[in-house]
Amino acid sequence: MRIYDFDYTSIEGRPVQLSEHKGKVLLIVNTASKCGFTPQYRGLQSLYDTYRDQGFEVIGFPCNQFMDQEPGSEDEIAEFCSVKYGVTFPLSQKVDVRGESAIPLFQYLTSQQRFAGLGKSVKAKAMEVMLRAKYKDGYSDDQIKWNFTKFLIDREGRVAGRYEPNVEPEAIAADIEELLAQ
């Protein structure tokens, strides 16, 4: 099974087969408009602008599962992303990415790349404390922990990397370049 076996509905309501992106390097991200990590939209757009002509695509999946940080309608989300952050990369309709209601794509992504922690920075440790309190025994599972978890997909449709919310998009650039060069 590869990423191309999945589909989603665009924010405009159009069915999209991920096979439409075959041969591209993809960055799949669960997003939210009212999150402390929302400014990452700028970095995601910058990556998209820098690498899209080389076969790179970002796809954002708005999600309201984490403290109701994506409460708007699809139209409101699309307008916010466009006006506030200049987002031109594709967005899906609002989806669930964690738990039994998670869309199959995110169930697959989390089965392919395990949760390896948030890192050792002070900010990462603070986030870990909050998430351990929220998820208790579920903190160590492989499911999405928060908004702006990113999955990097190679040109063959394989999951090549997972980056937790506290990893800024710019920090992924070298990994993207490596996959684009293959």
* 35 is annotated as an active-site residue: yes
101's CB contacts (< 8 A; 6+ apart) are none
163's CB contacts (< 8 A; 6+ apart) are 149, 150, 151, 152, 171, 172
Question: Pick from 182, 173, 181: which is nearest to 27 by CA?
Answer: 173
Label the pairing between strands 150-153 and 159-163: antiparallel
Q: Which of 35, 81, 87, 144 is catalytic?
A: 35
Ramachandran angles phi, psi of 146, nearest 5°: -165, 175
Cα–Cα distances in Å, from 16 out to 6, 19, 140, 177?
9, 8, 32, 26
d(CA 72, CA 77): 6
d(CA 64, CA 32): 7
User: What residues are labeled active site?
Assistant: 35
